[in-house]
Structure 1
Amino acid sequence: MQNFDYCTPTRLIFGEGVVEKLPEVMKQYGQKVLLTYGGGSIKKLGLYDKVKELLSDFEIVELAGIQPNPKYDPSVLEGVKLCKENDVDVILSVGGGSVLDCSKAIAAGAKYDGDPWDLISYKAKAQAALPIVDIITLAATGSEYDCGGVISRTETNDKIGYVDPLLYPAVSFLDPTYTFTVSKKQTAAGCADAMNHIMEQYFCEDSTLLNDAFMEGALKSLMINAQKCLDNPEDYKARAEMMLDCTYGCNGIYSLGNSESGWPCHGMEHALSAYYDITHGEGLAIITPRWMKHILNEKTVNRFVKYGVNVFGIDASLDAFDIANKAIDATYKFFESINIPMHLKDVGIDESRIDEMAHHVAVNEGLEEAWAPLTEKDIVAIFRASL
């Protein structure tokens, strides 16, 4: 078991109707608010009007139009500009993980005198950040309970995971009813995203019985409850459990004391969505079973056996490689069963830039140090197998 130093300063306020507590929470952080949101779904929900009503005594500046795979330019830069020009005290992020990821970069950039990309690319270390409060409307990324976010820079095809302890949200509001209207496509993609977050922590060299059971249970919970949410979008219990599964996903709590895995599937998928702007969860679902097949060997097989037996209930008396292959096939079939496109060509990616993307991953993601090391040649093979 590995040493660790762990702290989660985020306050979670969970359940139906909890947004009513927003004014008393926000007043702790100041009067001038930057309200960030995406393409308008919060207006259809009535949540935008609700927030404006609850914060009628606050000064609000708005940054709308934050996209999936949030962009450095214009969203981060515009948000930083608004914060500085209006002397903003606190950011309120309302929407999914992309809005919150963007808000985290804005929070740090607002307290930095140089180019905010210096912080995102780790050329400089943030010394301060604005406090962030969020209201999550999509169960997927877990950004509401972690200190990281992913930012894309279109002109260089960079998609960087920006992590800093200053970026934990101060408070996250989690009302499962706000996920009732999430589309089937995004519900499925959110499930795949969260499952991969867990698998990136599960497949490692050193783990504990406690963590394994926690993650195996979360994977089963996600698969069962995602299907329930697809069958009945207003199943509160299923939406609530799936939301909490996702919230824990990137927080580190699933794997305290485990060794690092290197998060190889995220490293590879970041290139796919940076180059082609595809849905992150779908990209992960496509890549993950091919990565599993590629790395299956004498060193890794026992981990796949445990995964197959404890998550999918595969007969433990079978040959180890038979169990492992059945587990990989079951993973693929689950994603397929919730109507995720399972080939890169299905999401508009052909072979024309495979080598270029693989080189980008090999240079920038450090996957030769992963639990199952990946060279540029390995990455090319996984991408091609995913076509």
Structure 2
Amino acid sequence: MLRFLQDFSYYNPTKIEFGREKEKEIGRYIKEAGITKILFVYGMGSIKKSGLYDETIISLNKHGIKYEELDKVVSNPLLSRVNDGIKLARETEVQAILGVGGGSVADTIKAIAVGVKYDGDVWDFFSNKAVIKEALPVFTVMTLAATASEMNGNSVITHDETKEKFSIGSVLVNPVLSVINPELMASVSKDYLAYSAVDAIAHVIEVYFTATYHSDFNSRLVESIIKSMMRTTEILLKNPNDYNARGEFAWIATQALNGLTPSGTEGGSFPNHMIEHALSALYNVPHGAGLSVVIPAWMKWYKEKNIAQFQRFSKEVFGLKTADEGIYALEAWFEKIDSPVTLKGLKIPKTDIPDIAKNAYVIAKTWGYDKENSLQNIIEVLEKA
């Protein structure tokens, strides 16, 4: 059956300010958007140690931007903190939200932005019980490159009580403007650099393998992103202060999930993210670390369903021939950068596989993936890990 390039609409309203010291202008950028009061959201205090907090406050004050603060956003961000932010934003009548930090902070501000404008429980959006119709504007200053949250409308949040890790996606929470200064990312630890690289690769590799039609251009774009991410990661592991490599790494991560790579493809899904969300929801493992365990296992399980694309991956990315050679080369690269490739590496016992699979299958049903990913299929993937 012939497959063709699909009709599509591509729209990304986010403005990117990329470069050194751009973060010092965040107050001006917000003022130019006609906003005078914001909720300033950040994580566990690293921006205070680095001086970025003070620089942000100086910029806000300089341009007359009033602000309220919400801190203590954790990795694998929680619904409870989102609800704290919604309450504070409503009480103080802020006009927009600024997130300074990594993907977790960006996820949190987007969830707050839609929750403020909704009379019900914000979790309704994550569990597909409500559709996003409006949101407060959001702005970001990024300190970590991985999720492309700076240029997409995605948010992933974990429910504290049910341990469900669900997501939303809407152009209404694409940031109005995001600042990417590679120098702000130079202090990222080697392990989180590795996990970030895995996450960015995962963002492009899943549709690459699962789409029923993936054009040559789309495939070349994905392959370029993967190879460039691998190259810059290896440079940065040796020299974290290489500005050019750091800048490329950051921009590659942005391109990996800003809606460009899947445009015109047919089908395509994110089964690796689906399974990993269960791991990080249940065990609070770093998202990228969970992905480096799931991806090779899933590839070994799925390869025969799209063998030609797996062979292409092997040839174009690693210069090898067979599907298996490409899979094991990627797995070996994950090991090379010290990202785990087994459940044991995450200190998760094999006996937990049924519980992990059950959690992942709830996500599969929520995302509409359950026909292609049965509970037994998920168990089989996890057993290969």
Shorter-chain TM range is over 0.9
Match of 2:73 among 45, 66, 79: 66
Task: Please list every run of 5 or more consecutive structure 2 residues that lacks an aligned counterpart in the other structure.
Answer: none
2:161 to 149, 152, 155: 155
User: Could you tell me the TM-score, scaled by structure 2's length?
Assistant: 0.94
Distance apart, 1:367 and its partner CA: 9.8
Equivalent residue letter for 1:375:
S
Deviations 1:177-215 (A, max 9, x none): 011000001100000000000101211220111111111
Identify the residue that residue 169 of structure 1 maps to in structure 2: 175
In the alignment, what sits opposite 1:15?
Answer: 19
Q: Secondary structure at the match of 1:13?
A: strand
- CA 1:264 to 1:207, structure 2 compared with 1: closer, same or farther past 3 Å? same
Name the aligned partner's letter for residue 333 of structure 2: F
Q: Secondary structure at the match of 1:300?
A: helix
1:145 alignment partner AA: M
**1:305-330, CA deviations, whole angstroms, 9 ceiling, x for partnerless residues?**
11011111115xxxxxxx10000000
After superposition, the Cα gap between the structure-2 partners of 1:205 and 1:371, relative to the gap in structure 1 and judged at 3 Å, is: farther
Matched residue, 1:307: 313
Give secondary structure in 2 for the equivalent of 1:151.
strand
Query: Residue 328 of structure 2: SS of its match in structure 1?
Result: helix
What amino acid is the match of 1:324? A
Q: Structure 1 residues 367, 161: CA separation in 2 closer, same or farther (over 3 Å shift)?
A: closer
Cα drift, residue 220 of structure 1? 0.3
Deviations 1:218-255 (A, max 9, x none): 10000000111111111101111110111112222012
2:276 counterpart of 1:276: no
- Equivalent position amino acid for 2:254 in 1: T
1:137 CA drift (Å): 0.5
Aligned partners of 1:91 and 1:107 also within 8 Å: yes
Aligned residues between the structures: 377
In the alignment, what sits opposite 1:50? 55
* Unmatched tracts of structure 1, length 5 or more: 316-322
* CA–CA separation in structure 1 for the residues paired with 2:262 and 2:187: 32
- 2:380 is aligned to 381
Greater shift in the superposed pair: 153-162 or 116-125: 116-125
Q: Distance in 1 between matches of 2:42 and 2:380?
A: 38
* 1:137-286 matches, cutoff 5 A: 137-203=143-209, 204-286=211-293
Verify: 1:78 aligned to 2:81, yes or no.
Answer: no
Aligned residue in 2 for 1:362: 361
The 8 Å contact of residues 278 and 359 in structure 2, kept in 1 or not, is answered as yes
**1:37 aligned to 2:42?**
yes
Q: What is the DSSP-based 3-state SS (H/G/I as helix, E as strand, rest coil) of the residue aligned with 1:304?
A: helix
| Distance in 2 of aligned mates of 1:366 and 1:110 | 27
Q: Structure 1: how far apart are the matches of 2:325 and 2:355?
A: 32
Q: Identity, % of aligned pairs?
A: 37
Provide the rounded CA distance (Å) in 2 between the counterparts of 1:335 and 1:366: 29
CA contact (8 A) 2:364 2:373 kept: no
* Letter matched to residue 192 of structure 2: Q
Q: Tell me how far apart the structure 1 counterparts of residues 82 and 370 of structure 2 sit (CA, whole Å).
A: 33
